[in-house]
Structure 1
Amino acid sequence: GSDPVKITMESGECPWNSAHRLVRIGLKAKEIPTDNLPASNLVFLIDVSGSMWGANRLELVKSSLKLLVNNLRDKDKVAIVTYAGSAGVKLEATPGSDKQKIREAIDELTAGGSTAGGAGILLAYKIAKKNFIPNGNNRIILCSDGDFNVGVSSAEGLEQLIEKERKNGVFLTVLGYGMGNYKDKKMQILAEKGNGNYAYIDNLQEANRVLVGEFGATLHTVAKDVKLQVEFNPSQVQAYRLIGYESRLLKDEDFNNDAKDAGDMGAGHTVTAFYEVIPTGVKNDYVGKVDDLKYQKKEKVSVKPIGSDELLTVKLRYKAPDKDVSKKMEFSFVDNKGNNVSSDFRFASAVAMFGQLLRNSEFKGNAGYDKVISLAKQGLSNDDKGYRREFVRLVEAAWGIGE
């Protein structure tokens, strides 16, 4: 259709508590062939401080960026800004046709010194604005371990700067590198404030996935400030919980407030959300028990069904990348009460179960590593690149350590 995003929904038995239902809400952004994507004005902002020294840090950044350079078209342009003790321009904006010049600038990068992250970001925005392409994709790609310790390093100062610049049409993609002192939370917050996305790169295959395989999703926003609001039908549902997304929750009133920032979706980008639902009438230990009141009788609230067998309604709001007013879409969903779910549902629910085991969640029910592996293996049908099999291997390794 005419909208750049589409919602799909399905439900099945909850794998870690068979009395509960699990609802999957899938969101996908329109795919756009790379050749048809608008021209890009990219600024690589690269942390070359001492903490970035090493094979899985700066050397991996260099290899990653070369993969991206191979995909650049003649109409794209790239500049490189580096920061350590101070920030500097390593390469002025260069057309994508001059790949050799860009590669040579990347090869010359070396690590050493302290980290003036704030100064680097200021300079990167200045360069991005200088080379701004109207109706194009103007974006800073920050590569760092997140360890900013010199300059505008207060989280609030950096966030305000990035929020201000995104209103001017310059977005931010954050790529995280390194282990040990890696500052994950700071990196994620910056990407959220910059109308951008965030990925952690630990090897060249992952770099290839993010920067080549998902080039459009990583670098080209098709819908910004995407918000979901889910309303459950109380005649069908006595309790529900969203699994994960703690850092992305909005207040109810924020849904209709176009001034409130939310997540952005790039071309071909997918998002999966799961709700665990306790159907009406099912006994459970989670719904709170409150003592009777002393001074007033508690009236029994009877929920009148509104003549509907719908389980829930999802509302979605999004803005076009160059617009400030959102558009609303609405979909309802009826639970078929069965367990005839897709292989995608099985695989994604295995990932959700694994996350709850790692965090020792109070809601993990009878989850187990063996169950995660068995469920994930039922979802391997759509695995051209082998990422799902890689997940199964990861769970097997975690199970070995955990025992």
Structure 2
Amino acid sequence: MLGSLTTVMATGNRTVTGVVYDQSTNYPLAGVNVNVEGTGISEKTNQNGAYTINVPEKNITLIFSHVGFENKKVIFKNKGVVNVYLKPSVFCEDLVVMSYGSPKADKSASLAEVQVAAPQQTLQGRAAGIQVSPGKPGASQRIMIRGKATVNGIYGRYAPPQEQESYKGITENGFQSAMDIPLSTFSIDVDAASYSNVRRFINSGQLPPKDAVRIEEMINYFNYNLPAPTNNEPVAIHTELSAAPWNPQHRLLRIGLKARVVATDKLPASNLVFLIDVSGSMNQSNKLPLVQSSLKMLVDQLRPQDKVAIVVYAGAAGLVLPSTPGNQKTTIKDAIDRLSAGGSTAGGEGIKLAYKTAVQNFIKNGNNRVILATDGDFNVGASSDGDMETLIEQERKSGVFLSVLGYGMGNYKDSKMETLADKGNGNYAYIDNITEARKTLVSEFGGTLFTVAKDVKLQLEFNPAKVASYRLIGYENRLLNKEDFNNDQKDAGDMGAGHTVTALYEIIPAGVHDKFTHSVDPLKYQKAEKPATNFISNDMLTIKFRYKEPAGSVSKLSQAVVMDKPVEFKNTSVDFRFATAVAEFGMLLRDSEFKQGSKYNEAIEMARAAKGNDHEGYRAEFVKLAESAKLLSKSGLVAVEE
């Protein structure tokens, strides 16, 4: 039974439920007094900040009070759910340590064990001598207070721990010699999670951790105007070549891929499984409530031939809605609305059940997909990045794809979710607000959910007569060995209907001196080959491109040749210039050793002049974001990463 995972209304004249949060951190508050004004009716919030209280039929006023916070009155009329945010009553968010039951004293050390009515925190100042054991935000903590026989009313300060967020380390791609290493091979990446996550940091007043900045995902957050493929091909390839604005002696190559556009009514039937994390860490306003709103927007896009099942997981996993036709929207939305959060996080078990459910309802030649919504904080069963990678590689053999939607902050596990989407033949988005949810699940519905080409790989061969060295900007987590390009068993990225993908290479032309490449001593046992300077062609490089049909197992090959004919930067397309501005901005955020002459002002002005037909306003938003980052770069406010 999964009764603990759904909201159950108590009996009585009227029942009010809700969650009380700390306004300054969005963390739920335990131990808050909820009183009905003028009566003796009262309740307290539980360890997840949730409360349920029976009230009279007439209009009443609820009073929410908690030590260290300002009281708040809410006039209650008809609503059955009242969520409240309490404002700290003192500067720097004073923490109040509350005792639950009788604390046990350790006579030998004069210690008291109590529960703390707040998420994990770092205690300082007046709370010296208090030690907090590790735990998840939103869960009760055990603390030790030295020399105290009573614990009520002990005050301290706390700060939400950014260090609990985890990001996979990135070692930036360096310049490679075209003579020594003529081949560059990588898997495409349509994910865009890094950009919205970076935006969240900057909008909160701090620069993101360097490893949160994946430049290719920032570039690919935006749509680009590329010609669609012809002759019923799933993907078309386009190139542009100009000078790099941060070093005009260098070339900048843009490779653009455009996937086939498929009208919504022509898309194949979908067999979807919503896999929803309802553990205690999701009990925040920007997590489970936002997940519910997001998925209901997706439900509105479904057709009668589509179907949806819902699997949830906390301490255990369970099926809360069997596969249901897409035209039964009320049934699906009611199941989503009934979800509430609490407990630990058995993500591995949830993934297994979701794939099992998808396989049981498999649609041949259809879109079979698990959509995982989580903050990535798995802590029961298979939980490490390696465990997750092995699990997903096994489950994807079923032909079911995986999309990952990330939510929340503070304990956000970006590294785990990127791994899941990468290995699950799917995509990864970070949802920081309802507008981003609409972009991902409504505006880009086809690209998010319907794959038209899988295992998409590129391999570039550089002509050493034209190229001294080259560098792929971003895609550090997507590099492949040169042998992987022709190996159809090697997994790679996937493209959805209408998707565009952009990759940028910085190229140092032959004969241009640079500080990034260095020579080695002559080999003793092999003769060094001389550069093919007498090569007749004006080719600068050749691009080879492999992909498979969604249900295929054998790849198809295409190729394109790029001639050494750069155009002036001012004459390039607005998309080329805008993508370049985003790349320059990303290098500045990472404080890249390859940023060279990059400047915030240059990136801002470049983007402002290349907004083009910005119907949704995303490019204008980028300009404002870059302006904010410029100001923050002067203050040194950078988020701490684990």
Which residue does the alignment assign to 1:311? 540
Which residue does the alignment assign to 2:607? 376
Which residue does the alignment assign to 2:57? none
1:367 counterpart letter in structure 2: S
Which residue does the alignment assign to 2:247? 17
1:221-274 Cα shifts (integer Å, max 9, x gaps): 111100000111111110000000000000000000000000011101111100
Residue 217 (str. 1) matches residue 447 (str. 2)? yes
Q: Tell me the TM-score normalised to structure 1 length.
A: 0.97
Which residue does the alignment assign to 2:618? 387
Which residue does the alignment assign to 1:361? 592
Which residue does the alignment assign to 2:387? 157
Which residue does the alignment assign to 2:301? 71
Q: Distance in 2 between matches of 1:114 and 1:385?
A: 39
Which residue does the alignment assign to 1:402? 633
Task: Check whether the contact 2:275–2:351 (CA below 8 A) recurs between aligned residues.
Answer: yes
Q: Tell me the TM-score normalised to structure 2 length.
A: 0.61
Deviates more, 1:114-123 or 1:283-292: 283-292
Change (3 A) 1:276 1:97: same
Residue 328 (str. 1) matches residue 557 (str. 2)? yes
Task: Check whether the contact 2:296–2:333 (CA below 8 A) recurs between aligned residues.
Answer: yes
Which residue does the alignment assign to 2:260? 30
Identity of aligned residues (%): 61
Which residue does the alignment assign to 1:101? 331
Q: Secondary structure at the match of 2:564?
A: coil
Which residue does the alignment assign to 2:11? none
Q: Distance in 2 between matches of 1:259 and 1:366?
A: 42
**What are the equivalent positions in structure 2 for 1:4-403 lying under 5 Å apart?**
4-291=234-521, 301-339=530-568, 340-403=571-634
Larger Rg computed on CA atoms: 2
Q: Secondary structure at the match of 2:630?
A: helix
Aligned pair count reads 402
Q: Distance in 2 between matches of 1:97 and 1:11?
A: 48
Task: Check whether the contact 2:282–2:374 (CA below 8 A) recurs between aligned residues.
Answer: yes
Q: Distance in 1 between matches of 2:259 and 2:573?
A: 20
2:237 counterpart letter in structure 1: I
Q: Distance in 2 between matches of 1:299 and 1:80?
A: 61
Deviates more, 1:377-386 or 1:255-264: 377-386
Q: Secondary structure at the match of 1:44?
A: strand
Q: Distance in 2 between matches of 1:286 and 1:23?
A: 18
Q: Secondary structure at the match of 2:398?
A: coil
Shift of 1:180: 1.5
Q: Distance in 2 between matches of 1:147 and 1:238?
A: 45
Shift of 1:17: 0.7
1:80-117 Cα shifts (integer Å, max 9, x gaps): 11111111111111111100111111111111111000
Unaligned runs of 5+ in 1: none
Task: Check whether the contact 2:388–2:416 (CA below 8 A) recurs between aligned residues.
Answer: no
Shift of 1:160: 2.3
1:346-394 Cα shifts (integer Å, max 9, x gaps): 1001111111111111110110111110111121013111111111111
Q: Secondary structure at the match of 2:596?
A: coil
Q: Secondary structure at the match of 1:381?
A: coil
Unaligned runs of 5+ in 2: 1-230, 635-642
Q: Distance in 2 between matches of 1:335 and 1:67?
A: 48
Q: Secondary structure at the match of 1:9?
A: strand
1:125-173 Cα shifts (integer Å, max 9, x gaps): 1111111111110000000011111012233332222222222211100
The Cα RMSD (Å) is 1.4
1:271 counterpart letter in structure 2: V
Q: Distance in 2 between matches of 1:395 and 1:17?
A: 20
Q: Distance in 2 between matches of 1:249 and 1:87?
A: 35
Q: Distance in 1 between matches of 2:452 and 2:336?
A: 29
Change (3 A) 1:163 1:301: same
Deviates more, 1:302-311 or 1:346-355: 302-311
Bigger helix fraction: 1
1:181 counterpart letter in structure 2: N
Which residue does the alignment assign to 2:158? none
Q: Distance in 1 between matches of 2:410 and 2:613?
A: 33
